[in-house]
Amino acid sequence: MTAPARPPAPLPPKPPSRPDRVSFWRYLRLFRQDILSAQPARLYRAWMAEFRTPFFRSYLCNDPALIDRVLKECPAEFPKSTRVAEGLRPLLGNSVFLTNGAEWQRQRRIIDPAFEGGRLRDTFPAMLAAADAATARLDGQAGRTVEIEEEMSHAAADVIFRTLFSIPIDHDLARAVFTRFRDYQRSQPLLNLAAFVPLPRWVPRLHGRRTRRAARDIRRLIARLTLDRMVAIRAGRAPDDLATKIMTTADPATGQSFTAEEMVDQVAIFFLAGHETSASALAWTLQLLATHPGAQDRAAAEAALLPDAPGFADIARLGFIRDCFREALRLYPPVPMMVREATCPHRFRDRDIATGAQIVLSPWHVHRHERLWDDPDAFDPGRWQTEAGRQSARAAYLPFSAGPRVCTGAGFAMIEGPLILAMLLRRFRFAPAGPVPVPVAHLTVRARDGIHLAVSTRR
């Protein structure tokens, strides 16, 4: 007797689109609430779209040739827009995420060596310890419904603190940073008013009181960690982790290392980029696997083949789990939009682009573009093993950006994500519970009311 066929899996949740034409002020209100649902549906087919405001012009570019021009061919002519920095400056200061030009190049020369291949191998034991700790925490909740975004935030923060400062999330300072960062994430929209209205530098940036207080507390806690590490380095007793590597690396061009204040800026972005984005990607991957039980069973079977204590080389055996993680990054890129600014005139698709124009590159729309992907809104990990899928990925996949400003931690994330997923999937089964999550973009793409999954132990 044949088993009954499984019903087709539902399409992954996607936010509704706004009407094609709205007033600027209506668009501004929608944008501050959620930048994803503030966009019209036509952007999922358009190669380029122009948006006019009373203060500036912006152009959203989905054409792969234009994306390559901005990110790879002449990135110096399209630096990061200072408008995006307005909302993040209280927390990130002058970090590598916000700088441009010579200052950004200097920062990358110091930071990049810490994330080279050999160093990633050295961080693997800390990642594994964090994955084991996440498994133990979920063990205590088996048989219940779990808000999985919260759990993945905890796991990703644990990875960052173990690899950066050799302390677990249970350390008092690490736990305090994690707690205050949740307050910051919930109170800070991706863009504030100064992103839309050009304001003189002396005008207050209208950050909320809760946002300013959380950013100030986080930076004070990070400063304590940084100063403690500087003392340990001078005393010759510092652990050989990412923080020590970065703090003892001198810029080969100038011979100078980061000051204590500069290191606070960099640690803040490491925590934002390494914790917030990883938590988003992990949570959405588990949500997708929960609603696609066939894919989940295959991933769990692959994870079960790992040794009890996997090593760095074992990550290469997680091919299907890695494809599931890639597919989640395609459908829910943690950073949904990137903004650059034209520093000289250009011509895009027969349109003149003036100096000062804002160039918006949207992984959210590129990854779901109807002309670039087959069945773009479907969860299909198998696409990564087809020639059509690989071709689409080469042209239209940028969860970590691309070119010189590609995310320093991309390799780190592609080890951390499959490892944590494998450790969880070989132990637990996940099933949907509660309402369908609605994607919204704050600092990263999260679910508006969280992602609730029923967690049970696998037999």
Q: What CATH number is associated with residue 80?
A: 1.10.630.10
Of the pLDDT bands very low, low, confident and very high (cuts 50, 70, 90), residue 24 is low
- The residue-averaged pLDDT of 78-105 equals 86
Domain count for the chain, please give it.
1
Is 60 exceeded by the pLDDT of residue 196? Answer: no
Residue with tokens 């503030």: 38
- The residue-averaged pLDDT of 60-74 equals 97
Percent of the chain whose predicted confidence (pLDDT) is above 90 = 69
Domain assignment of residue 446, yes or no: yes
Distances in whole angstroms, Cα of residue 55 to Cα of each of 24, 79, 146, 192, 354:
11, 19, 45, 15, 13
* pLDDT tens digits, one per residue of 210-244: 777 888 888 999 999 999 999 999 999 999 999 99
Of the pLDDT bands very low, low, confident and very high (cuts 50, 70, 90), residue 6 is low
Domain assignment of residue 13, yes or no: no
Q: Taking a C-beta distance cutoff of 8 angstroms, is the pair 92, 98 a contact?
A: yes
- The residue-averaged pLDDT of 75-93 equals 83
Return the pLDDT at 204: 44
Return the pLDDT at 35: 80
- The residue-averaged pLDDT of 426-437 equals 95
Is 90 exceeded by the pLDDT of residue 323? Answer: yes
Q: What is the mean pLDDT of the chain?
A: 89
Amino acid identity at 309: A
**What DSSP state is assigned to residue 446?**
E
Domain assignment of residue 261, yes or no: yes
Distances in whole angstroms, Cα of residue 131 to Cα of each of 81, 162, 415:
36, 11, 12
Is 50 exceeded by the pLDDT of residue 187? Answer: yes
- The residue-averaged pLDDT of 3-22 equals 74
Give CA–CA dist 271/275, Å, rounded. 5
254 - beta bridge partners? Answer: none
- The residue-averaged pLDDT of 340-367 equals 95
* Cα 24–Cα 85–Cα 394 angle in degrees, nearest 5: 85
Return the pLDDT at 192: 47
Return the pLDDT at 89: 79
Of the pLDDT bands very low, low, confident and very high (cuts 50, 70, 90), residue 25 is low
Is 60 exceeded by the pLDDT of residue 106? Answer: yes
* pLDDT tens digits, one per residue of 251-294: 999 999 999 999 999 998 888 888 889 999 999 999 999 999 99
Return the pLDDT at 200: 45
User: Torsion over CA of 53, 81, 178 and 417, rounded to 10 degrees?
Assistant: 110
* pLDDT tens digits, one per residue of 114-140: 988 778 899 999 999 999 999 999 999
Question: Based on the number of CB atoms within 10 Å of its own CB, is 245 exposed (0-12), middle (13-18) or buried (19 or more)?
Answer: buried
Domain assignment of residue 5, yes or no: no
Using DSSP's 3-state secondary structure scheme, residue 49 falls into strand
- The residue-averaged pLDDT of 308-334 equals 96
Amino acid identity at 39: Q
Residue 142 domain boundaries: 24-457
Return the pLDDT at 203: 41
Domain assignment of residue 117, yes or no: yes
Higher pLDDT residue, 272 or 454? 454
Return the pLDDT at 404: 95
Return the pLDDT at 36: 85
Q: Which two tokens stand for residue 315?
A: 């990550």
Is 80 exceeded by the pLDDT of residue 55? Answer: no
Q: Which two tokens stand for residue 232?
A: 């340990």
User: Torsion over CA of 152, 153, 154 and 158, rounded to 10 degrees?
Assistant: 100
Rg (the chain; Cα; Å): 22
Rank 4-8, 56-60, 381-385 by mean pLDDT and report only the highest: 381-385
Does the model's pTM come out above 0.85?
yes
